Chain A
């Protein structure tokens, strides 16, 4: 099982995503934004960071990268694609998932361990969860406010395309507390918080059991592997 992680100029969490893939039991493959080559991977991750310094709009320039032609093509064929943070912004700019992102409502960069509810546990990246599961993974962004027009919001709420919702605190003013969404088919998922930072005891969020022991992010990658195994 080979899962590709695309590195754009300004990606920060590409190595973390690769490590998460390894810890979940698959083989990470480093992909390059300037190539037209997915190297035959079975799934694709667009990682967090600040591609092109967030110039123009977060994810906007990356969404026009050479490799995005292949990513869009693969997504259309049902290949699982996960966009984390800047990767989510890039998916939205590429119109692979609904909505868009603006500056956080309070204008600040926010970093916190964030509680989320899994609203849809049937996507390619969430099938190892149960619907309604509450998880904690880190979030860290400045442009994380999810917005969409009223009609789109109604549609994605009705179709189960809202995959994650912020619980307890809506950190950035996202509409309907939306933290992550999917495409209609459920193979493309994007979210602002970072599952790849909650995969290894000692490096994750604090839990009631022990400091930094949270590994709620592992199930994202396990889900994709289970999707691919069938």
Chain B
């Protein structure tokens, strides 16, 4: 069963409070070589038929309209497994 993977990240210029909290934890653990952490989302979409261009276009549309909000996030990758 093909799986299409969509990755979404908070926009670079926006504060990512989750990533900041994790970065703070790393610093407290003495992991001082890591200067930042940002946390995004990975969507794995499965289909019951072979992936073609039309389906990819549809997933690209879903990624832009539902999986992400373009005001605060960017779709950074879309790959077929």
Q: Say if A and B assemble together.
A: yes
| Residues of chain B with a CB closer than 8 A to A106's CB | 17
| Residues of chain A with a CB closer than 8 A to B54's CB | none
Complex: A56 Cα to B8 Cα, angstroms: 11
Q: Which of A92, A100, A105 is within 8 Å of B15, CB to CB?
A: A105
**A59's closest neighbor in chain B, by CB?**
B69
| Residues of chain B with a CB closer than 8 A to A173's CB | 15
B72 contacts chain A at the CB level, 8 A cutoff: yes
Contact of A57 with B14 in the complex, beta carbons under 8 Å: no
Complex: A102 Cα to B20 Cα, angstroms: 13
Contact A107 to B72, CB < 8 A, known contacts A102-B15, A147-B14: no
Per-residue contact bits, chain B 8-40, to A (CB 8 Å; 1 contact, 0 not): 001000110110010000000000000000000
B1 contacts chain A at the CB level, 8 A cutoff: no
**A150's closest neighbor in chain B, by CB?**
B13
Complex: A60 Cα to B21 Cα, angstroms: 24
B57 contacts chain A at the CB level, 8 A cutoff: no
Q: Which of A99, A103, A105 is within 8 Å of B71, CB to CB?
A: A99
* Candidate in B10, B14, B17, B21 with the most chain A CB atoms within 10 angstroms: B17
A111 contacts chain B at the CB level, 8 A cutoff: no
Task: Tell me the count of chain A residues lying within 8 A, CB to CB, of chain B.
Answer: 21
A104 contacts chain B at the CB level, 8 A cutoff: yes
Contact of B10 with A102 in the complex, beta carbons under 8 Å: yes
Contact of B71 with A104 in the complex, beta carbons under 8 Å: no
Residues of A40-55 contacting chain B, CB below 8 A: none
Complex: A33 Cα to B14 Cα, angstroms: 32
Q: Which of B18, B66, B67, B71 is within 8 Å of A100, CB to CB?
A: B71
Give residues in B with beta carbon < 8 Å to A. 10, 14-15, 17-18, 21, 66-67, 69, 71-72
- What are the nearest 5 A-B pairs in CB distance? A100-B71, A100-B72, A103-B17, A107-B17, A100-B69
Listed by A's residue number, 15 A-B pairs whose Cβ atoms lie within 8 Å are A56-B66, A57-B69, A60-B69, A92-B71, A93-B69, A99-B71, A100-B72, A101-B72, A102-B10, A102-B14, A103-B18, A107-B17, A107-B21, A147-B72, A152-B71
